[in-house]
Amino acid sequence: MKEDSIVNVFGELQEDFIINQKFIEENVEYITILNFAQYIQEISFEEVKMLVKNMIQFRDKYLTDKTLPMCSKIADEILLEDTCAMQEQAQEYNFMHYCNRADFERGLCFFHNKKKDAELLPPLPTLGSEEKCQTCKNTENLF
pLDDT score, position 118: 53
Identify residue 38 by its one-letter amino acid code: Q
What average pLDDT score do residues 87-109 get?
84
Global model pTM greater than 0.85: no
pLDDT tens string 114-142: 776 656 556 556 777 788 778 777 777 65
Residues 36/107, Cβ–Cβ less than 8 Å: no
What dihedral do alpha carbons 53, 91, 98, 87 form, nearest 10°? Answer: 40
Closest CA to 127 of 116, 119, 135, 118: 135
User: Domains in the chain and their CATH numbers?
Assistant: 2-142 (1.10.246.10)
Q: Which residue has the higher pLDDT, 4 or 67?
A: 67
